[in-house]
Amino acid sequence: MNPRRLLRLLPITPAILLLLVFLLAPVVWSFYASFTDAALSGKAAKDPQWVGAENYVRMFSDDSFPMATWLTVVFVAASAVLGQNLLGLLIALLMTRSRKMVSDWVGTAVVAAWVLPEIVAAFAAYAYFNRDGTLNQLLAVLGTHGLDWLYSFPLVAIILANTWRGTAFSMLVYRAALADVPRDVSEAALMDGARGWQRLGFITLPLIRNSIATNLMLITLQTLAVFTLIWVMTAGGPANASTTLPVLAYQEAFKFGDIGYGTAVASVLILLGMVFGAVYVRLLRERRP
């Protein structure tokens, strides 16, 4: 690199340094700690020892790890890729055709869940699905008995809660993307006799392909990291039926004080995020239609 280019980097150096110190350093430390027996208490807290891959070996022989990985994948696929993404797209599409007042009201209602801080949204969802909660009270009005949702269907409850909370983001992304779709292309297709679903499948979706990939990447990474919502609603229970990887990492590191093992789980979570990220980045790079 010639000196002038180096000089040009100078103004962003503080930003890069801050990123390195506050984002990369914890990740590196987490990877490092996952190869030690670091703990919150006991001898290993004073003097952590290098244990090689022992934490990872234990992880793959432990039943709760594959289960947590599976639950994480189901949670992400159902609440982000299917729930938030499709629902957001559907609402955005409907809003382009509805009257302004309707679309304003719907938009406000959907965004309301997004505006709530995560802890408030989590308590709201808990209060809704709880045994004596809103859902069961509504069902009682209709004359049917509700179940103990958080106990009988913990995963379904947190998937619905996360879909409710996150749909607004996808909706906003798709509304912006749809607004950019040139009207004349659609109209030309209409003149050629394309039906509604054909215009959607062959014109609109290919045109907003980039937004879809970006949206999927963002909501996937965000959903992979969801912790507060699950912790407040079910705390990973009953019997680990809703223990996703972030919850597992928290339990191991802070409830059992086994920081080495907890960071090993966290490291796997980071890798999983990188795999998802890489796939979407590839999608983004592929040729445009």
- Residue 36 DSSP symbol: B
Residue 108 vs 152, nearer CB to another protein: 152
Residue 7 vs 179, nearer CB to another protein: 7
Shortest Å distance, C-beta 14 to another protein: 6
Listed residue (154, 287, 172) closest to 218, CA to CA: 172
Shortest Å distance, C-beta 25 to another protein: 15
Listed residue (103, 128, 133) closest to 116, CA to CA: 128
Exposed/middle/buried for 257, CB within 10 Å: 0-12, 13-18, 19+?
Answer: middle
CB 280 within 8 Å of CB 216:
yes
Shortest Å distance, C-beta 45 to another protein: 4
Residue 4 vs 97, nearer CB to another protein: 4
Phi, psi of 193 (to 5 degrees): 90, 20
Listed residue (258, 243, 261, 275) closest to 67, CA to CA: 243
Shortest Å distance, C-beta 144 to another protein: 18
Residues within the interface to another protein (CB under 8 A) = 4, 7-8, 10-11, 13-14, 17, 39-46, 131, 148, 151-152, 235, 237-239, 254-258
- Strand-pairing partners, residue 50, are 36
Residue 40 vs 218, nearer CB to another protein: 40
Residue 46 vs 99, nearer CB to another protein: 46
Q: Which two tokens stand for residue 172?
A: 């906003």
Shortest Å distance, C-beta 257 to another protein: 7
Residue 40 vs 156, nearer CB to another protein: 40
Please give the span between the terminal C-alpha atoms of the chain, in angstroms, as a whole number: 36
**282 — alpha (psi -120 to 50), left (phi > 0) or beta?**
alpha
